[in-house]
Structure 1
Amino acid sequence: MSLRSLDAAYRAMEGIAGEIVVVDNGSDDGSCEVISAGIEARGWAEGTRVRFAASGRNGGFGAGNNFGMGLGLSDGSKPDYVYILNSDAFPEPGAINALLEHLERTPAAGMAGSYIRGEDDVPHVTAFRFPSMASEFEGAVRTGIVSRLLRRSIVPLPMPETPTAVDWVAGASVLMRQEMLDQIGGFDERFFLYFEETDLCRRAEGAGWQVWYLPQSRVVHVGSVSTGMKGWTRTPGYWFDSRLYYFTKNHGRFYAFMATLARVMGAAIWRVRVAISSKDLGEPPHFLRDLISHGIASVLRRQSDGGPGAGDPLREEGK
């Protein structure tokens, strides 16, 4: 699938001066050899248009992308823009150029994300508001009257039909201005997976940059191939770590606690509705119990360490 993504990216790069870097995050299943052989077979090994680089470790989505961005161009210079593409995403012809043209004519834009659809042609929601205490409650309670009252806090935005400035976009297909990255830095590697692009967009906004969603940049995305999210039988700990770290880093400990409490309250109400109406719970098994357990464990770990430590997602170092 990574090679299929590379094929699509190579075609979408036609007419654009730039280079493609494929980063491997410490795979031990022969991926490095397969991808390297695929690049060789396509005749891309000669020259600098396509490069393969092994990071040597699986530090997560942000760390892998930071590694690739840190390599720069093959002549040692920095690019003007950096385009990030998931290995299960396939840009259509013109998709990258549409993002590039928008950033070129919009000096205040720091990054721009694509319209993304599944292989079944169903659109994926990829334009969002920033998460908040209110959105945590709304998303958990799943009740029409609450959603209407809190409509300005709902994280997923209605799909814009024209280029629109938004809070944040999905990281599966996004073009970023190097000038912005030089100012705010890359991804925060404390996020192993999830919330890292949300945090990056919040830092961009804080520095005065705009984030745009462009429906004319079209990308097909399988989705959840790396994480298996659609088939989760249990929400992994790194999701809870990332969520808690995001709220703590950007809003403080008390807000993070209240956001978790809001989600727990909303989830409890939803469970009452499920019990009465026999609705589908719509979340991985034991999610609420795991959310509460994770929050308690984080507090206890911090107390036993005498303060926030290196492994504590509640650490408040806003970097």
Structure 2
Amino acid sequence: MPADIDIVIVNWNAGDMLRDCVQSALDTGNDLLSKIIIVDNGSTDQSLDRLPEDARIVVVRTGENLGFGRACNRGAALGSSRFLLFLNPDTRLYPTTLADVCSFMDSAAAQRVGVCGIRLIEDGGAIQQHTTQYPGPLNIYRVDSFRTPFDHKSDRNVAHVIGAFYFIRRDVFTRVNGFDERFFVYFEDLDISRRVTQAGWTIFYLSTASSYHKGGGTSDSIKARRLFYSLTSRLQYAQKHFSTAGYLTVLAMTLTVEPAMRLVRALANRSGAEAQETIGAYRLLLGPEGPFRSRRRH
């Protein structure tokens, strides 16, 4: 089979996880792998210095944090293979991962499949329940409330697969104009899945292919800002995809009920850190960086 896959990895201080992820792709890509394009969003941890040497690795140093979707689009533009794999640095591919997915996507059964996700294995061997339905104004607040209710041990069409391993046909990615760069991080994968299905393609969960996924990503150390990004992207998603009434419902809940509940929970847990994270996130949300000021992040 020809070199049909370009892998795009967005790195932000991923440490040794980036090296391990890239090495696993090199070890398992065989003739399928064309390029591994690493878009580095201004890392300061020397994670790029630990990469293996291979002619297929392309490194883009942005010098700043562009956000996930914008970085993915930049990386995708540097390749030309039929398939794109957007891969988190906290993943590791198994020996047959790429071959299994590529074989399925080239099969007659997958002619209308635009995006494929796979079984993701956590530490300890648990299968991540990562596919979701599309949320509405009343259940967008917690991913558990709109997660697809099945054990992830069988194949099926789904509404959305997590962006940690997001395998998409390049022509489909081009047709839907890639990721919406208004989402700095979070909800950008849910948004593109929605646009893929609106364009007439299906999204498939392939249980017979698998890889490791740590989960939690590389933002564990900046919880207040991570919450801020999540709240902002949620509001952006609601404004883009819900009715005016639906968006206003999400806005009201986000600004009133949610912070109160988070602070009550922090008090019940006797966690000053949790309270500070909530207060810090909402200060950012209502401040100059937030979605309510004219100076928005793009």
Q: Which runs of 5+ in 2 are unaligned?
A: 1-16
Given residue 63 of structure 2, which amino acid in structure 1 is its aligned partner? Answer: G
Unaligned 5+ segments in structure 1 are 73-77, 143-152, 314-319
Which residue identity does 1:58 align to in structure 2?
A: N
Deviations 1:16-74 (CA, angstroms, capped at 9, x unpaired) = 25222222222233333333xx32xxxx24xxx333332333212212211111101xx
Residue in 1 that maps onto 2:204: 212
- Name the aligned partner's letter for residue 91 of structure 1: L
Q: Could you tell me which residue of structure 1 aligns to residue 97 of structure 2?
A: 95
Over 3 Å counting, the alpha-carbon distance change for 1:301 and 1:202 in structure 2 is: closer
Q: CA separation in 1, counterparts of 2:215 and 2:190? A: 18
Using structure 1 for the length normalisation, give the TM-score.
Answer: 0.73
In structure 2, which of residues 133, 138, 149 is the aligned counterpart of residue 134 of structure 1?
138
Q: 1:269 to 1:32 in 2, by over 3 A?
A: closer
1:156 CA displacement: 4.6
Give yes or no for contact 2:69–2:181 (8 Å, CA) kept in 1: yes
Using the TM superposition, name which of 204-213 and 120-129 deviates more: 120-129
Contact preservation (8 Å) 1:160, 1:215: yes
The 1:207–1:9 alpha-carbon spacing in structure 2 relative to 1, beyond 3 Å, is same
2:188 matched residue in structure 1: 196
Which of these residues, 268, 285, 290, is aligned with residue 275 of structure 2?
A: 285
Q: Is residue 2:161 matched to residue 1:161? A: no
Q: Tell me which residue corresponds to 1:113.
A: 117
1:311 lines up with 2:296 in the alignment: yes
Letter in 2 for 1:93: P
1:236-259 deviations in Å (ceiling 9; x for gaps): 322211111111111244322212
Amino acid at match of 2:104: H
Supply the distance in 1 between the matched residues of 2:263 and 2:49 (Cα, whole angstroms): 48
Counterparts of 1:100 and 1:190 in 2: how far apart (Å)? 30
Match of 2:66 among 59, 65, 80: 59
CA distance in 2, matches of 1:261, 1:99: 42
3-state secondary structure, aligned to 1:285 = helix
Report the residue type matching 2:27 in the other structure: R
Rg larger for: 1
- The alignment partner of 2:275 has SS state of coil
Instruction: Find the aligned partners of 2:138 and 2:31 in 1 and give their Cα distance.
Output: 45
Q: Which residue matches 1:255?
A: 246
SS at 2:124 equivalent: coil
**Equivalent residue letter for 1:171:** G
Q: Give the match's secondary structure for 1:124.
A: coil
SS across alignment from 2:58: strand
- The CA distance in 1 between the partners of 2:286 and 2:60, in whole Å, is 40
Q: Match of 2:229, as an amino acid?
A: Y
Superposed CA offset, 1:205-262 (max 9, x none): 1111111111112111122241107x83675322211111111111244322212445
Q: Aligned partners of 1:203, 1:58: CA distance in 2, in Å?
A: 25
Quote the offset at 1:5 in angstroms. Answer: 0.5
CA shift for structure 1 position 109 = 0.8
CA RMSD of aligned residues (A): 3.4
Structure 1 residues 22 and 234: CA distance shift in structure 2, 3 A: closer
Aligned to 1:172: 164
* Aligned partners of 2:219 and 2:226 also within 8 Å: no
Distance 1:243 1:108 in 2: 29
> What does residue 83 of structure 2 align with?
81
1:254 aligns to what SS in structure 2?
helix
Return the letter of the residue paired with 2:200: G
Q: How high is the TM-score relative to the length of structure 2?
A: 0.78
Aligned to 1:29: 45
